[in-house]
Amino acid sequence: MVNITFIIGNGFDLNLGLKTSYTDFYKIYVEDADEEKNELIQYFKKSIPVSSETKTKIENWSDFEKAMGEYSTDSIFTLPDGGDKFLSCAGHFLKEFESHLKEQVKEFKSKKLIDLNKSNFIKSILKFSDVFIYNTDKHKKFAKIINECTRLEGKINFLQLNYTDVFDIIYERCRQECNLYLKGNNDYKQKYGINQLGVNIHVHGEVGNLPVLGVSSIDQIISETVRNNPEVIKGFIKENYYEARKDKNKDMDIPADIAKILLWDSDIVCIYGASIGETDKHWWVEVGNLLKEENKLLIILGYKKGSANRNSNEVTVWHNEKEQKEKDLSEQFMNLAGWTDKDKAEHGHKIIVEAGDGLFGGLLLEPVPV
């Protein structure tokens, strides 16, 4: 049996048609900039960060968080109260984003949840390795871990990086059926190495319950004035955020602490729908260190629209692009995990990247309008 830990990102919500990407919210946040009465927030809305690398508007949440750290050098934050102003801007953004997410979830519950295809969800979490073509190198690596692991019990745990409760709702609707399937199917246990469901937690908080937006470490806040502000250190560095909260509530469980325990008890880690970005670097370092142990495997499930309904030339191009995307994602992870060339040579084979649209596909019986 094996322990498998899913790391679920915003891609899960996007796959269901929720408008939860950075670009979705950016348009809403800045559209009323001219009518904003607070001068600081108006300035922020009109000068909201762009990518330092591409000089264009940002697409991923991790890129926005990184750009906010760079934006801390803006002239408006150079005075002694710059840290307080920075937090005001970040706090306003997060509050408005929470409101946006609430509306998106409300709409999903009222219009789309009735069309939920439970069987596809159950298949995606219990048989996710079926995205690998049988007997290929990827499939063999997965099967090897299953066969060599000596655990008496195997669990699937879920660590969510997103803020909505959409995954939670669907998971709870399918949980009983999942457990019944696991309880009575010995062939499944032998093939996939799982006999029970485990823990489902939000690592970065959730809507209405202490969500955190920020960077991975203090060096990602470029401005010395801003990063020297104690409240910025507590509120905009993800690992510090819950520690600061726990100072006020000694009985509070810190989600990140629980997540680390679950990660280090994992044989296979599966990342789905999460951008492998710098502002979650502490998580990629954690997973990277785990992979240096014997009999560990990382599966990164990226998204690239499938090859169906393409002619032969288009399919060839698609496969070439898919292969390159998979190489790029693997390299990106290894770099953010802090691996040396020696680490890459010794442990790089423990990373499987599958860029396709097979997992969590067809969760809605009706197609999502574009």
Residue 268 lies in a domain: yes
Q: Each residue of 210-222: pLDDT tens digit?
A: 788 999 999 999 9
Residue recorded with tokens 């998979």:
326
Q: Note down the domain range covering 150.
A: 4-355
Query: pLDDT at residue 370 above 70?
Result: no
Residue 345 lies in a domain: yes
- Number of domains comprising the chain: 1
**Helix segments in 222-365, DSSP class H:** 224-227, 230-235, 238-248, 255-264, 281-291, 312-336, 341-347
Whole-Å CA distances, 252 to 157, 255, 331: 21, 9, 37
Q: Each residue of 319-332: pLDDT tens digit?
A: 677 788 888 999 99
Closest to 310 (Cα-Cα) out of 321, 323, 325: 321
Q: Kindly state the percentage of the chain with pLDDT values over 70.
A: 88
Which pLDDT score, from 0 to 100, does residue 303 have? 54
Q: Each residue of 62-110: pLDDT tens digit?
A: 999 999 999 999 999 989 999 999 999 999 999 999 999 999 999 988 8
3-state secondary structure of 119: helix
Residue 202 lies in a domain: yes
Residue 365 lies in a domain: no
Whole-number average pLDDT of the chain: 86
Q: Each residue of 112-137: pLDDT tens digit?
A: 777 778 888 888 888 888 877 666 88
Neighbours of 24 (CB within 10 A): 14
Asked if 130 and 120 touch (Cβ cutoff 8 Å), the reply is: no
Kindly report the CA angle at 182 between 176 and 184, in degrees rounded to 5? 105
Strands of 268-272's sheet in order across: 196-202, 155-160, 4-8, 268-272, 297-302, 351-355
Residue recorded with tokens 């949840």:
113
309: tokens are 């309904």
Residue 188's φ and ψ, nearest 5 degrees, are -60, -45
Residue 340 lies in a domain: yes
Residue 368 lies in a domain: no
93: tokens are 């953004």
Residue 362 lies in a domain: no
116: tokens are 């939920």
Residue 47 lies in a domain: yes
3-state secondary structure of 269: strand
Residue 266's φ and ψ, nearest 5 degrees, are -100, 150
Which pLDDT score, from 0 to 100, does residue 326 have? 86
Question: What is the band of 357 on the pLDDT scale with cuts at 50, 70, 90?
Answer: low
Question: What is the band of 283 on the pLDDT scale with cuts at 50, 70, 90?
Answer: very high
50: tokens are 């762009």
Whole-Å CA distances, 140 to 4, 130, 132, 288, 347: 17, 12, 9, 21, 16
Q: Each residue of 241-279: pLDDT tens digit?
A: 877 777 767 677 788 889 999 999 999 999 998 989 999
